[in-house]
Structure 1
Amino acid sequence: YSSTTHINRVSSSSWRVYKEGLPECIDADDVSALPSEVQFSFIKNIQFILLNVSVLLAVFSEYVKQHWREDAFFGYQFLNGVNPMMIRHCKSLPKNFPVTDVMVKLEGNRKLSQEIKKGNMFLCDYKDLDGVTTSHINDEEQYLAAPLVLFHKTPDDELKPVAIQLKQTPAEDNPIFVSSDSEYDWLLAKIFVRSADFNEQQLNAHLLRTHLLAEVFTVALLRNLPKVHPLHKLLIHHTRFTLHINLNARKSLISEDGVFTSFSAASAEGMTKLMQRSHSAVTYESLCIKDDIKERGLESVPNFYYRDDGFKLWTSSRILTYYYKKDEEIKRDTELQEYIKSIFEHGFGSREETGELKSTVDELVKFVTMVIFTCSAQHAAVNNGQADYGSWMPNTPTSLQKPPPTQKGTVTEQTVLQTLPDRNATQIAVALGHFPDEHFTEEVPCRLMRQFCAELDKLDKEIDDKNKKRKLPYIYLKPTLMENSVSI
């Protein structure tokens, strides 16, 4: 592998500012300008077209259709649905969400103030959606709320919503809806939350935190680590097709006249604003599942399968300790140093301090695990369930055609029907841990890769066994159902 080859790869993998305040992307206007090894093959192009299929007859879709109105299922989705990234432990109520003991009726005749002290209340705050400009679909203005949602962990360990405020600023025309309100008042409030969650999930949890960051990881890899570098061999599987899919997304999905604006509440300008706000809050720790779960106070919440399966997938790669046995070896590896520096410079705007990451074996292992987890498991968690939970449109409305209600007691079934949109989209994905190209040739790394695959197979069987005991299986972090990379 010659230095000239690496120079050519660097020149074809330059950086470009995509939007101010967002991670940078590869400098390319068309897929033909991408390095050949990151382009879709003919087979992948055909798969990408054929895999956009409906799963309306699947067990998930039928279950969602039957249970979408229920408070317990509504709460379940914030732990194990397509966006488990918003909910957090509520130690005290935000000042702009003045829920009182008198307002809410909690199961077991418990008081809100007491349940907060006991650690049984949880919160979702969609403040980043406040003021986001909305789109026009078929010449009709669309609506997007910026709600706050309060959840109660019931005595039987279910998570149920008890209060919803649809706008950020308390006001007479911004009532706090509670679970004891009329059927359609409460249902419409939950529908506005689900629509807000769709936009937050698509643009922050999915696009920004997996697709755009995975592109940063990929370009940094191509520019700084030659093919003979052990980290290149380990990570190249997890960058497969990411640049190609992202370039297509920027051109066809999230551009000014992209497909997303034809069915989503957020306009092109609104999408950018939301992602800029979200990106300012992205930290290295927030991409490490164990740190993130701890920061959100969710270590002990029951029936949280994203956390439980994710922790098992967050496994340190023993391959790195084969190549790096001492901290000094990391400090001397200038290519590795530039790789890490490049990610923080172009992905985080150099907001984060990288000193420790570049100086110890343990920190390097954690950093590389974060890269792999983001590109594979995290993307699967926020992508692969979209069809399951979204194919029954009222459960995940992409946009809404009426503004949030300004008073209680006015919502009817007809109001709900007039508010809902009429379209949604579906996606599916395939297997983690099976690499179509072999990059490691040494005996020890090859053996460690085989052991890693065996551990994934064991985890897959464990998840299958647990799912047999659940009303609804959690399958998004099953290794056999995950892609290695952000490629769909």
Structure 2
Amino acid sequence: MRKRFPLQLVKDLIPMGGDYLLKPPKPQVIKQDEKAWMTDAEFAREILAGVNPMMITRVTEFPPKSTLDPSQYGDQTSTITEAQIGSSLEGLTAQQAVSSNRLYILDHHDHMMPYLVRLNNLDDTFLYATRTLLFLKGDGTLAPVAIELSTPLLQGGLTTAKSTVYTPASTGVEAWIWQLAKAYVCVNDYGYHQLVSHWLNTHAVMEPFIIATNRQLSVTHPVHKLLHPHYRDTMNINSRARELLVSAGGIIELTVFQRKYAMEMSSVTYKDWNFNEQALPDDLIKRGMAVPDPSSPHKVRLLLEDYPYAVDGLAIWTAIEQWVTEYLAIYYTSDSVLQSDVELQAWWKEVREVGHGDLKDAAWWPKMKTVAELVKACATIIWTGSALHAAVNFGQYPYAGYHPNKPSASRRPMPEPDTEEYALLARDPEKVFIRTITNQMQAIIGISLLEILSKHSSDEIYLGQRDTPEWTSDAKALEAFKRFGTRLEGIESQVVALNGNPQLKNRNGPAQFPYMLLYPNTSDHTGKAEGLTARGIPNSISI
């Protein structure tokens, strides 16, 4: 225990004195109702409006298939059957549910399966690769209808899967089996969130843009002026993260299930990273959550309408894109002006060939020959450093500060019938649940970290604000920026109104915790909106 949790590390992270360990701040997810997190409705709502709402995808074929190489992993097609879910589909067949865009999946199977042999050989660890099938009900909410837990099965030189499917239950020991199945899903989701959705897709991928901007664009260049606020403190916090959090033996390896394989798993995921898919509309289309729609204000139409992250995110994305379009139009009156901008072309060349050099030959990179390409690129960079990071960061303690809701590790397999563990589950289900998820020291350190990461500082500079009104002397740019701020303040009112609409059940959920992570907070200039507010979009990835 002392080796895994060095005393100095614990002292550095956890506030000493007082009664902190006895009375940490109460996470918002249990403030109104301490049991709401256990409901299927809240479990599903957090897939749309929690701390990792960018994993859900629409099912396009049933049963869901795998993308793992069959020459290594055999047939990894899901074992969920229509007979297991049919009674939960409001009279539809599985195919009808697919065809009517009412079947969705939280799929952690393919990225987990290649690591399970190694992970489950670690001490105090037992993990599954999970698939969670969700049905869109008539009231606009999602219901989990099946969870598949898979472990590796080595046979015939292949790493195939041994899978068990669990379906909802509300009474007896079966209800706790279902609760454990959801916990195993949350463990997968927690680890993926920390290492991919959060660290890789915001912190890490921003670095090449920051470095190239400072190396290739003069401080008077209009693109430098546009992007610079969205880089504030990011390199500093990333440096600290590499020292304390994602380093070998650091806090992430101590508290998250991937342990010593954490950075390997995020690095492997980076091979499939695509800059274009950092843009919210592209991401939603890729996941099947939206379709292109030129008539929509956001140019896409959501297939699941009450999707708080996407609804608020698209409003923010469109405001950013409009601001960038208006700003760049002042300086780039034609594509030829952009093409002859030596600094700009050197900037993009370094981003692609040096910063993201591992992917420099990918066909998806914008060529940076048109103003439209520059608008999309700058909007994507701003979105990533501001709103995307806010969505995955500032809800960490509010949702995962209560570890049973979002455990970071699992230590025991699902209890099997006719075993001592199963009998104990029937007698004392809470005991089995607690000793299955994150251990006490992991939880203490992990929760302390989440509290630090989730706090807004008193000197936060929010989207639509600047640290100085003299950031440019160009009156046209200042007017465009003022319009941007006005649009963001309008989005604030829109978010509040949506949260107050009782027809939109995913906005608050059983936990009665309104979705405010993409509330811009542009209107606040007091500096008083600090701490665990679970709202506000800072300009940059900063703590």
TM-score interval (norm. to shorter): 0.7 to 0.9
Cα contact 1:128–1:277 (8 A) shared by 2: no
After superposition, where does 1:380-399 map in structure 2 within 5 Å?
Answer: 380-399=390-409
Instruction: From 265, 277, 280, give the equivalent of 1:286.
Output: 277
Cα distance in 1 between the residues matched to 2:418 and 2:129 = 18
In structure 2, the CA distance between the partners of 1:263 and 1:110, relative to structure 1 (3 Å rule), is same
Cα distance in 1 between the residues matched to 2:43 and 2:163 = 22
Cα distance in 1 between the residues matched to 2:55 and 2:32 = 23
Are 2:98 and 1:116 aligned?
Answer: yes
Cα distance in 2 between the residues matched to 1:406 and 1:206 = 35
Describe the SS at the equivalent of 2:249: coil
Cα contact 2:30–2:37 (8 A) shared by 1: no
Cα distance in 1 between the residues matched to 2:124 and 2:139 = 42
- Equivalence for 1:212: 204
Report the Cα offset of residue 355 of structure 1. Answer: 6.8
- Equivalence for 1:420: 437
In structure 2, the CA distance between the partners of 1:379 and 1:172, relative to structure 1 (3 Å rule), is closer
Are 2:172 and 1:141 aligned?
Answer: no
Are 2:186 and 1:176 aligned?
Answer: no
348-357 or 459-468: which moved more? Answer: 348-357
Q: Tell me which amino acid in the other structure corresponds to 1:98.
A: T
Cα distance in 2 between the residues matched to 1:373 and 1:272 = 24
- Unpaired stretches in structure 2, ≥5 consecutive residues: 1-19, 66-76, 154-159, 291-302, 502-506, 522-535
Cα contact 2:271–2:359 (8 A) shared by 1: no
In structure 2, the CA distance between the partners of 1:226 and 1:164, relative to structure 1 (3 Å rule), is same
Instruction: From 308, 311, 327, give the equivalent of 2:311.
Output: 308
Cα contact 2:151–2:161 (8 A) shared by 1: no
Are 2:480 and 1:448 aligned?
Answer: yes
- Unpaired stretches in structure 1, ≥5 consecutive residues: 1-51
After superposition, where does 1:68-79 map in structure 2 within 5 Å?
Answer: 68-79=37-48
After superposition, where does 1:43-192 map in structure 2 within 5 Å?
Answer: 56-57=25-26, 59-63=28-32, 65-92=34-61, 93-95=63-65, 96-104=77-85, 105-126=87-108, 127-132=110-115, 133-134=118-119, 140-167=123-150, 174-180=163-169, 182-192=174-184
Report the Cα offset of residue 64 of structure 1. Answer: 6.7
Report the Cα offset of residue 353 of structure 1. Answer: 3.5
TM-superposition CA deviations, 1:414-457 (whole Å, max 9, x none): 32222022312322235322211442121111121122112111
Instruction: From 467, 475, 479, give the equivalent of 2:516.
Output: 475
Give the TM-score taking structure 1 as reference length: 0.83
- Equivalence for 2:498: 466
- Equivalence for 2:330: 322
291-300 or 374-383: which moved more? Answer: 291-300
In structure 2, the CA distance between the partners of 1:356 and 1:214, relative to structure 1 (3 Å rule), is closer
Instruction: From 377, 381, 385, give the equivalent of 2:387.
Output: 377
Cα distance in 2 between the residues matched to 1:200 and 1:405 = 25
Describe the SS at the equivalent of 1:167: strand
In structure 2, the CA distance between the partners of 1:367 and 1:168, relative to structure 1 (3 Å rule), is farther
Cα contact 1:214–1:486 (8 A) shared by 2: no
Report the Cα offset of residue 102 of structure 1. Answer: 1.0
Cα contact 1:55–1:61 (8 A) shared by 2: no
Cα contact 2:309–2:518 (8 A) shared by 1: yes
Give the TM-score taking structure 2 as reference length: 0.75
Q: Tell me which amino acid in the other structure corresponds to 1:187.
A: Q
In structure 2, the CA distance between the partners of 1:462 and 1:250, relative to structure 1 (3 Å rule), is same
Q: Tell me which amino acid in the other structure corresponds to 1:144.
A: L
Cα contact 2:27–2:401 (8 A) shared by 1: no
Are 2:195 and 1:203 aligned?
Answer: yes
- Equivalence for 1:262: 254
Report the Cα offset of residue 373 of structure 1. Answer: 0.2
Cα distance in 2 between the residues matched to 1:343 and 1:128 = 27
In structure 2, the CA distance between the partners of 1:381 and 1:331, relative to structure 1 (3 Å rule), is same
Cα contact 2:168–2:178 (8 A) shared by 1: yes
Cα distance in 1 between the residues matched to 2:340 and 2:417 = 65
Cα contact 2:152–2:161 (8 A) shared by 1: no
TM-superposition CA deviations, 1:50-81 (whole Å, max 9, x none): xx999743643324732111111111111111
Cα distance in 1 between the residues matched to 2:363 and 2:161 = 45
After superposition, where does 1:234-245 map in structure 2 within 5 Å?
Answer: 234-245=226-237
Q: Tell me which amino acid in the other structure corresponds to 1:149.
A: T
- Equivalence for 2:14: none
Cα contact 2:80–2:148 (8 A) shared by 1: no
Report the Cα offset of residue 140 of structure 1. Answer: 4.5
Cα contact 1:149–1:161 (8 A) shared by 2: yes
Describe the SS at the equivalent of 1:151: strand
Cα contact 1:400–1:419 (8 A) shared by 2: yes
Cα distance in 1 between the residues matched to 2:283 and 2:27 = 32
Report the Cα offset of residue 145 of structure 1. Answer: 2.5
Cα distance in 1 between the residues matched to 2:135 and 2:224 = 46
Moved beyond 6 Å, runs of 4+: 52-55, 406-409
Identity over aligned pairs, percent? 27
Aligned pairs, number? 434
In structure 2, the CA distance between the partners of 1:375 and 1:387, relative to structure 1 (3 Å rule), is same
- Equivalence for 1:295: 286
After superposition, where does 1:398-409 map in structure 2 within 5 Å?
Answer: 398-405=408-415
Cα distance in 1 between the residues matched to 2:410 and 2:184 = 8
In structure 2, the CA distance between the partners of 1:156 and 1:304, relative to structure 1 (3 Å rule), is same
Cα contact 2:385–2:540 (8 A) shared by 1: yes
Report the Cα offset of residue 312 of structure 1. Answer: 1.2
Cα contact 1:135–1:264 (8 A) shared by 2: no
In structure 2, the CA distance between the partners of 1:172 and 1:214, relative to structure 1 (3 Å rule), is closer
Report the Cα offset of residue 173 of structure 1. Answer: 5.2
Cα distance in 1 between the residues matched to 2:125 and 2:232 = 36
Describe the SS at the equivalent of 2:404: helix
Instruction: From 467, 491, 497, give the equivalent of 1:436.
Output: 467
Cα contact 2:274–2:364 (8 A) shared by 1: no
Cα contact 2:79–2:148 (8 A) shared by 1: no
Q: Tell me which amino acid in the other structure corresponds to 2:471.
A: H
Cα distance in 2 between the residues matched to 1:152 and 1:165 = 15
Describe the SS at the equivalent of 2:83: coil
Q: Tell me which amino acid in the other structure corresponds to 1:352.
A: A
77-86 or 336-345: which moved more? Answer: 336-345
Q: Tell me which amino acid in the other structure corresponds to 2:136.
A: K
Report the Cα offset of residue 401 of structure 1. Answer: 2.0
Cα distance in 2 between the residues matched to 1:58 and 1:473 = 13
